[in-house]
Amino acid sequence: MWRRGADSDGFVANFVESEQMIELKGYTASFVQVRGSIPLLWNQIVDLTYKPKFEIMRIMESPRIVERHYLDLRKKYGNVLSIDLVNKHGGEGRLHEKFANAMQHVAGDDVRYLHFDFHHICGHVHFERLSILYDRIEDFFIKNRYFLISEKGEKVELQHGILRTNCIDCLDRTNVTQSMLGRKMFEFQLRRLGAFDAGESISSYPNLDESFKLLWANHGDDISIQYSGTPALKGDFVRCGHRTAQGVLADGCNALKRYYLNNFVDGTNQDAVDLLQGNYILAVSRDMKPSSQKESTETKASFPLALGLILTGLFFAMLSLRNDGHGLRNLVYAIVWASISLGIAAYVRANGQMFCNRPSLNQSRR
């Protein structure tokens, strides 16, 4: 979660270009899609809650940053259809509202913006309702085509535009949506090359269908592992075409793992990324304050210590209640120990950011 939104130049976090390619009868066809974080200045600082609050910064700069981001996309890919999959309510709703308002300044003939409330429309199991989204973008989808060259190397078709998809992480909802769009284009290309009749689809060929689903599921897992440390959620739908009990259970485990990594590991990981990318130059930063190192050490040690004190207090409270003699005194002891535990827990909850693993090298992120 230490990489969210855009920088001041319009470059966004978790920007991924995916190119789906096939070779058939000497022809080569490809279809390119992109994903990337919402191009605003925003963050989501971990604080031990499952979904930290969204913070949108420097609102007045949003139109400029969005314009720079989409100008870059237009130069690289041509027309752009931006598909926003975030929720319409809550914290995501505020982010969606600011994004939609900023997009009004850049929307035109070559840039379109479309909001599709994935969770409201599809819920957690009815992902087949993505057909509603496809119906709304089919004109752009068909008009902007795909890339196709013949066996002689002649360009038969050119892709004139790009579909840009985002949710919050650009992992789970995004991958389900992009796999659906890739499937539609794959069938479109196979009909063009004469492999499919007009009424045929990938599902008519079980082996091909299974291979296509596996391809996109693995693709989504690779991106998710790189960005979040776990495979993608909702991957069972991409792999199987429907939600499964095993997939729901796996999503729960991966969600818990993401929570742990976000709060207690990713700060150190971000330090490693900043060092590798040159965002923090050790040679010119020897004057780093010792307090930063001290804070980093305290951050790693404080949560286990606080948790240990809370559990110790609860243990002695329960032990006092189980003691038969001196009933009133034991009750007082139990209340005191329980109060200490609850007080520490309340302090940890109120100051959650202090107990998380935060980046310590690049001080501009603190």
> pLDDT digit string (tens) for 240-267?
877 788 888 988 999 999 999 988 888 8
The whole-angstrom separation of Cα 122 and Cα 124 is 6
Residues 125 and 246 in one domain: yes
Which residue range forms the structural domain that includes residue 350? 267-365
Residue that terminates a domain, selected from 222, 239, 264: 264
Give pLDDT, residue 326.
58
**In total, how many domains does the chain have?**
2
| Closest C-alpha among 81, 109, 89, 86 to residue 99 | 86
Counting as low any pLDDT under 70, the low residues of the chain are 281-301, 323-327, 362-366
Give pLDDT, residue 86.
95
Give pLDDT, residue 281.
65
Give pLDDT, residue 324.
58
Give pLDDT, residue 314.
84
- Identify the burial level of 25 via C-beta atoms within 10 angstroms of its C-beta, where 0-12 means exposed, 13-18 middle and 19 or more buried: exposed
Give pLDDT, residue 294.
47
Residue that terminates a domain, selected from 229, 264, 299: 264
| Closest C-alpha among 227, 181, 203 to residue 37 | 227
Residues 31 and 62 in one domain: yes
Give the pTM.
0.83
Q: Are strands 111-115 and 79-84 parallel, antiparallel or unpaired?
A: parallel
Structure tokens at 252: 């729960």
Residues 172 and 114 in one domain: yes
Give pLDDT, residue 95.
92
φ, ψ of residue 363 in degrees (nearest 5): -65, -20
Give pLDDT, residue 285.
47
Residues 227 and 240 in one domain: yes
